[in-house]
Structure 1
Amino acid sequence: MTTIRRFRTRPRRNRLAAFGAAALLTAVAACSSSPSQTAPPSSPFPASVAGAPTAGAATTAPRGAPPAAYDWPDGGQAALLVDGQAVPVSSGETKPTPTASVAKVMTAYVFLKTKPLAPGASGPTFTISAEEANRYGERARRFESLTPVTAGERFTQRRALEALMVVSANNIAHEIARWVAGGDAAFVARMNSTARELGMTATTYTDPSGFDRTTVSTAVDQVKLFTAAMRDPAFAEIAGVRTYTAPGNRTQPNGNTLLGKDGVIAGKTGFTTPAGANLVFAAEREIDGVQRRVVGAVMAQHTGNTAAAAIEASDELIRSVGEE
């Protein structure tokens, strides 16, 4: 899906005022105490920070710009995790919201956990089922994101993952569920089990593609997932691919137009009418003279009918974190 870039006209925040607000929030936090929360044993985030993000507020970052100085979106929700932080900082609502195709990050993560893939390798080959090939017309009428398939067509693991992450092909998400677990129900159970392992307590998956409005999550949870996924070199490689090439040299661009800009190295877009525009991303930014990885998520941006609003909001947020 090609994304058209749009620009907002809202005024920039006053940075000095933002820094002052952050200092006040930090001082208030220092005068109060809250019980330390314990993260699940397999969570990639240590339980070393007291408290948790609350609606409309950001937690305090240990280094770099104070969270209040970040250029958060005006609406929806967003979260950031700078390398070295214990937990993401966040802004906006924290209630679960439909993920749209951002759910495919978990689909790819479970696929790679089940069948590890070396960087640059093609991996094993799978076959498209007649059932899924026959559903192409039905899915197209529902305006799902798809890639053309035929019964018996062979997909390497790498090609399947690129179709999933670059083209956002819902039909490939369902085939991955069949290849890995025999079907959607068993695969979705694995998605939810993996979410619990990662400490994603506000996330529920009901399908492998994110087309269902009942597949919901939060920006904070999606940052946790994307951080874990980016530790897999094959995932990081595929999440940064800018063009998908199908047989016959048919190419389709990645809808994430931020790739290669402002230090962005990987990401996944999502859009449905219930979800609005969503984006998860990873970028390399220089903060206090040190190159650091920043993982973020912007969700529930209800402007337009593509992922453009989330891409624009993410661009502004990234630019407010250090320098490229």
Structure 2
Amino acid sequence: MMGPVLAACLLIILSTAWISQANEALCKKDGGVCSCNNNKNSVDCSSKRLTAIPSNIPVDTDRLELHMNKLSSLPRMAFHGLQSLTYLSLSYNDLKTLPAGVFDELKNLETLWIQQNQLESLPPGIFDKLTKLTDLQLYENKLQSLPHGVFDKLTELKTLKLDSNQLKRVPEGAFNSLEKLTRLQLEENPWDCSCRDILYLRNWIREKQGNVSNIEAAECAVGNKAVLEITEKDAASDCVSPNTTTAIPIGTMTPASVIYDDIHEIKVPQENFQKFLGYQEPDHLPTQPQCLMSISGYLGLMMSLMLTSAAILYVFHFLKKA
């Protein structure tokens, strides 16, 4: 009976070694990109001048720090498989946009920091799956508007920072679902107090005053008057919301045949082809230690697979004889 028992133990040990080898590729001390605290399931990739997120972050990571890098974009599947994350920091990067669905698998996330980037807008539903989120930092971006319902699913949210953006208004009902909110920062935005739709924000601030801190600091772009103090007379204009879309008149649409005929005349810059093909400048290429680390990781993985296969074959052979 010792034969299959020993083989099973060997199989478990090899599987554990395989997983450790995969994690080593990310956190190896000699030439590794990130530092890891396995006891706390924490991965720190901050201040590494990264232009892309490492692809082999352990699936049981609870805390992921990616701040102070050079991330200008995120792939939609950037955090695929990281359901254990409760803390994610993307602050101090160069993010200009967020792909729809990028946070959809982070259903246990409690803290999300995206402050001090270059975000100009947010996709509708970008936070819909983050139902456990309690802290959302979006300050010091370039947000000009918010999509309708962007915070509707964040019923556990306690802290929301939107200060130092370029917001002129918020959609009707933007904060209605945030029943547990205790801190909201709205200052340093050019609130347009001449438009009627600012009255929603004024009424909400008046209702929550005393229960939600910092909301009184929101001021109109003109006159330095607090949003809290504006009157219906101040906000008499019917302004067009930036979220409003207008259908294109059919008569102005260009026939497809004309577009097709003109395609051959379009000149695409060489750098666009390079970006499409995934070309990277030499200073973004992996360093020699990283290359060696990757090669050793693949060799170790292949060795683990071979030993695992041998153990499985041994078990089958033993059982067949039995």
Q: Bigger radius of gyration, 1 or 2?
A: 2
Q: Higher strand proportion, which one?
A: 1
TM-score (structure 1 length as normaliser): 0.22
TM-score (structure 2 length as normaliser): 0.22
Q: Which has the higher contact order (CA 8 A, sep 6+)?
A: 1
